[in-house]
Structure 1
Amino acid sequence: MNSPAAPTGQRILAGILFMCAAGMLFPVMSGFAKFLGADYNSLQISWARAFGHIVFMLMFFVPRFGVRMLRTRRPGTQLARSALLFASNASSFLALVFIPLAKSASITNMAPLLVLPLAWAMLGERTSVRGLTAVIVGFVGVLIVIQPGSELFHWASVLPLLSAACYALYQVLTRRIAGIESPETSAIYSSVVGGFGMFLVLPFVWKTPHTVRDIFFFCSLGVLGGMGHYFVARALAYAPANIVAPFQYMQLIGSVIVGYLFFGDFPNLWGWIGAAIIVAAGLYTGWLQTRK
């Protein structure tokens, strides 16, 4: 039996806390993926993340909720969510082969800003001109991080932006079915395309893990990603996307820490400036929506 609904303020706070927790799990997952990217194809890494996600979620949720949680009333939307999440992960993991973790995370953090116009168009969650202006300002921050036309520019810097766009669409679709599907059901289905669809491609890119460390990293991807996206689904069930989305910026802090501890990478001045602009724009949009 479900517990009584908490007061609105408490539910929004719970949604924010769940989103912050997800933002701390994802950098560790990305760090493990970057380690693996040196020796393994990014499609194999993406498959391991998706398939491990499904296995972990089945072990974690089925004993508690039973097989009824596998029933979905929106199969088309769930498959679309899953395809978007796989595309987001695959492009992000490929980018990590070439660029530092913090840089990738800075660009990917454009996703909460992209949620605003998408939520307006697809969910009717209206925003203001100031909110849309913040989206443009955030994109300026992305350009500062990428530095197109400079000698520091790398083509792979475009991949996190693609990842952000796919992830923003994923979040909006998650919000669309949040009142129809349980967070547990959405968490399971979010990796169906990557977990099972990739079996068609896997034989062509497979490389057997050759160390215990690599096996541990491959297995951890699904656990960390599964819990992270369950937290996202739970956050979006508690509060509107335009309120909780900006709190994903905890992921940027975690990415700087993981990137420095794991790889000795530290953002340069322009990286910090661009990231600060992106975060400021995102927090401003969150403040606008909360104030409204």
Structure 2
Amino acid sequence: MPSHKTGYLYALVAFTIFAAQDGISKHLGTFYPPVFVAMLRYWAFAVFVLLMAARSSGGIRGAVMANRPWLQISRGVLLAVQIVFSIFTFAVVGLAHSHSILASAPLIVAALSVPLLGEHVGWRRWCAIFVGFIGVLVILKPDGEGFDNSLLITFVAVFMLALYSVLTRLGSKSDSAMTSFFYTGVAGAAALTLVGPFYWVSIAPQDWGWMLALCITGMSGHYCLIKA
């Protein structure tokens, strides 16, 4: 199968997994601090990344040796913060409303690909991006009741997600998928560990299953996205 078609399949699988993951995130974010939820998820993610790196051809040392380490660290931390924002907005704004806005991420990716990746975006695609953003405004239904300030967090989350996707593509030009995967898990876990313990709470027994499902979907989804 041509490489671009394989990439499309990986992307389809990744975003299907992310859809299920967001539903789980909304449930957990309603009852627990988003930073705490994201931290536990990233701890499991980091363990999984280390195990995969150890089994790879170059081992953990090979995965760490990034050609552009600051780029890899930045995208790992960026995604961790984005996930915290997303969990918060799922719980506060609502899953359907949040996803309506998050669906504009590909539009931002296309716009950012010009200055950051040097890709060409023709006038037809720019027109599609413009129409897409009009659609986002329609979803928000601006009226006399005023603007919901909580939606600003959703806008920040969608921009961060788009920027992460572009930086992932940029990192793939110089580093392997294993290196990108390693920094996604380890850098993100390190960043959240600096903050998450301050929000530590006890998890109800019935929610441990949901936490496990969140960890599994997070690991598999981001690996598929990096492969894409």
The TM-score normalised by the length of structure 2 is 0.90
Work out whether 1:18 is the aligned partner of 2:15.
no
The residue type paired with residue 219 of structure 1 is L
Query: Counterpart amino acid of 1:17?
Result: L
Residues of 1 paired with 2:167 and 2:76: CA distance? 10
8 Å contact from structure 1 (residues 85, 191) kept in 2: no
| 2:15–2:221 contact (8 Å) kept in structure 1 | yes
What stretches of structure 1 move > 6 A for 4+ residues in a row? none
* Cα drift, residue 144 of structure 1: 1.7
Q: CA deviation at 1:88?
A: 1.7
Specify which of 124, 133, 157 is matched with residue 139 of structure 1: 133
Deviations 1:50-72 (A, max 9, x none): 22222222234422442222322
1:111 maps to amino acid: A
Residue number among 166, 178, 183 corresponding to 2:172 in the alignment: 178
Please name the residue that 1:45 is paired with: 37
Higher relative contact order (CA 8 A, sep 6+): 2
Give the distance between the partners of 2:80 and 2:106, measured in 1 at CA: 18
Q: Which residue does 2:222 correspond to in 1? A: 229
Superposition pairs of residues 28-43 of structure 1, within 5 angstroms: 28-43=20-35
Match of 1:220 among 213, 220, 223: 213
Matches within 5 A, 1:72-221: 72-149=66-143, 154-211=148-205, 213-221=206-214
- In the superposition, relative to structure 1, how do residues 71 and 219 fare at CA in structure 2: closer, same or farther (>3 Å)? farther
Name the amino acid aligned to 1:206.
W
SS of the aligned residue for 2:215 comes to helix
Question: Which residue is equivalent to 1:238?
Answer: none
Q: How far apart are residue 138 of structure 1 and its match?
A: 1.1
| Alignment CA distance shift 1:76-1:150 (3 Å) | same
- Structure 1 unaligned runs (5+)? 1-5, 236-292
For 1:14, the aligned partner's letter is T
What's the secondary structure of 2:93's corresponding residue?
Answer: coil
Whole-angstrom distance in 2 between the partners of 1:151 and 1:28 = 33
The 1:35/1:152 distance shift into structure 2, 3 A limit, reads farther
Q: State the one-letter code of the partner of 2:32.
A: Y
Q: TM-score, normalised by structure 1?
A: 0.72
On the 8 A contact 2:109/2:163 being kept in 1, the answer is yes
Task: Show the counterpart of 1:289.
Answer: none
Q: Percent same amino acid among aligned pairs?
A: 31
Q: 1:105 to 1:229 in 2, by over 3 A?
A: same
AA paired with 2:112? L
Q: 2:55 aligns with which of 59, 63, 67?
A: 63
SS in 1 for 2:136: helix
Secondary structure class of the residue paired with 1:180: coil
